[in-house]
Chains A and B, each alone.
Chain A
Amino acid sequence: MRVIRLIAGAVFKESVRDRVPYAMVVFAVLLIAASYLIGQLTAGQDMKTIKDLGLAALSIFGLFIAVFIGIGLVSKEVEKKSVFGLLSKPVSRTQFILGKYAGLVMTLAVNLGVMTMAFFAMLYYMNATTPAGVRAAWPSPAMDPRLLLAIGLIFAELMIVTALALFFSAFSSPLLATLLTLGLWVAGHFNADLRNFENVVDSAVVVAVARGVYYVIPNLAPFDVKAEVVYGMPIAMRAVSFTLIYAAVYIALLLTATVTIFRRRDFK
């Protein structure tokens, strides 16, 4: 555990020194702030638009951080040959992968935390400057605590994406790993369509294949409760609990697969 913690800390420090996440966070904060201006153009839908844009910014910029930094974690070490020095110390390859993953998750958590604070500051300002009569017409309160649930699920989704990025970077080039991760992220969001494929296709074989794909590729659609939160609709907590359990199991699956591949990888 200590070794994993040390590697995670090093990854976190390295990410903090890296300018990319800063740029992304600044950009996301600016976007969230700009949503206030955009909200003025939406004919009474300002709060909805601000929440939509804010949650989308958190999700998209979190994705960029997870993918672009996640891919570089292993590939950079291999390219710079620093992996030899690291693995010659009493550090197993399993500890190396788990430490890298934990470090990136910490980075992600801090970045999302900053963006969440900016988002809530914007909502607080909107809430404070809007007359009570207008506030009453909003489908859900400005500082709805359920927004934190939506952000929590975004974080869980990004943890899966990070594990995916790490998995692909364990055996392929950075460019290919980026494309594969982003491709699976897109597919994972369209996954819900595969579940009910029998509605649009008659072939039993195609339906069975679609159902198989639905269960095997990461199913990211259930992590998206943004619409429910924005519209003030009830969220089934049972489904949320199982979605979080699913995230834990799928991350464990990806990390196991990454370690399995990485343990046998030859570095030249």
Chain B
Amino acid sequence: MSAATVDSRPSNRVGYVAIAVLMAASIGVQIVRDRGWAPFVPPDPTLWLQSGRVAEKVFLGYRHLVADVYWMRAVVYYGGKRQRAGAQQQSRAPATANFEQLYPLLDLVTSLDPHFLVAYRFGAIFLAEPYPAGPGRPDLAVQLLERGIERDNGRWEYFEDIGFVYYWWIKDYQKAAEWFKRAGEQPGAPAWLEPLAATTLAQGGDRQSSRLLWTQLLASDVEWLRNSAQLRLRQLDAMDQIDELNRRIQEFEAREKKRPTDWRQVGLPSAPLDPTGTPYRVNPKTGLVDLGPGSILFPLPR
């Protein structure tokens, strides 16, 4: 062996062992600390940059990267609030969710990156979701999508999404049909939009036409849109099932002059399950069937 190949530097074996031990200790300390600890969220957290125009100037050539970061923050913000609302619903605690930073965040994202398709479309879904699962602001959802039309060369998806917001949340079928028709007129729009506009105008509001609408979206090549359509179709199934269960309860009440105390009294072997497998519950105040605590179908559209 030549002298040049001999490594005369000190061995680092003890150092490596110490690093491994200290890393394990740091993880252990974090695990113990995190038990029962959650970062404090101020009652009214400050979004320092609320103006998209200011942000455009501040972030110079990195606007798109910053838009990505803010988009992630918007998703985490909405996800966290929604999860807390779900936990409150499950424990039957009063809802306290406050989504007031959501629109400014989405406005910031779409100002920084005017072609951020998902931010407009997903953002509109977040905004339109009724309270407490979302802020229940379909008006802001429409506003965001209209901005998308203005800034992002009038893509047909935005017209279609506005139609959905009018159809599903605002229940203005005339306007929904108008937007579907306009969507169908945009370049690259799928052929089913124009017949959808006609169906909406003729039968808007009934569950059958809603089902038709969401079934069309099940064929979408965008995964989250397919997931959303699947959820809406399950909600429609749940609404049908709830109607049927309420009919049975009302028949029992009319016949026996009292509320049923057991599902067997209305001809069911056990508590019926909603399409996600969560048992339905009877609201003790109204005597009507409702989604069980923790059902991901909550809240059902009105």
Residues on A facing B (Cβ under 8 Å): 192-193, 195-196, 199-200, 215-216, 219, 221-222, 225, 227-228, 231, 233, 236, 238-239, 242-243, 245-246, 249-250, 252-253, 256-257, 259-260, 263-264, 266
Contact = CB atoms under 8 A, between A and B. Distances in A.
Nearest to A193: B76
Given A196-B80, A225-B40, A257-B19, 13 more contacts: A192-B39, A215-B26, A221-B39, A242-B29, A242-B30, A243-B33, A246-B30, A250-B26, A252-B22, A256-B18, A257-B15, A263-B9, A264-B9
Interface of B: 9-10, 12, 15-16, 18-19, 22-23, 25-27, 29-34, 36-37, 39-40, 42-43, 45, 72, 75-76, 79-80, 83
Contacts of A246: 26, 29-30, 33
A101 to B, nearest CB: 15
A260 B26 contact: no
A69 to B, nearest CB: 25
Contacts of A236: 36-37
B15 A256 contact: yes
B22 A253 contact: yes
Given A249-B25, A253-B22, A199 B9 contact: no
A222 B22 CA distance: 19
A219 B80 CA distance: 20
A263 B15 CA distance: 10
Given A253-B22, A253-B23, A263-B10, A227 B33 contact: no
B234 to A, nearest CB: 17
Contacts of B43: 231
Contacts of A253: 19, 22-23, 25-26
B22 A249 contact: yes
A238 B19 CA distance: 26
A215 B30 contact: yes
A206 B105 CA distance: 25
B15 A233 contact: no
B295 to A, nearest CB: 18
A254 to B, nearest CB: 9
A-B pairs with lowest CB-CB distance, top 6 = A260-B15, A242-B33, A253-B22, A200-B79, A239-B37, A264-B9
18 contacts: A196-B80, A216-B23, A219-B30, A221-B39, A227-B42, A227-B45, A231-B42, A238-B37, A239-B37, A242-B29, A246-B29, A246-B30, A249-B22, A253-B26, A256-B18, A263-B12, A264-B9, A266-B9
Contacts of A256: 15, 18-19, 22
Contacts of B76: 193, 199-200
A239 B15 contact: no
A24 B46 CA distance: 26
Given A246-B26, A246-B30, A250-B26, A259 B42 contact: no
Contact of B79 (A199, A239, A257, A266): A199
B12 A260 contact: yes
Contacts of A221: 39
Contacts of B23: 216, 253
A264 B19 CA distance: 16
A157 to B, nearest CB: 14
A245 B29 contact: yes
B40 A228 contact: yes
A5 B151 CA distance: 62
Nearest to B43: A231
Contacts of A216: 23, 27
Contacts of A242: 29-30, 32-33
B225 to A, nearest CB: 16
A174 B49 CA distance: 32
Contacts of B42: 227, 231
A239 B10 contact: no
Contacts of A196: 80
Given A222-B39, A256-B22, A195 B15 contact: no
A215 B22 CA distance: 12
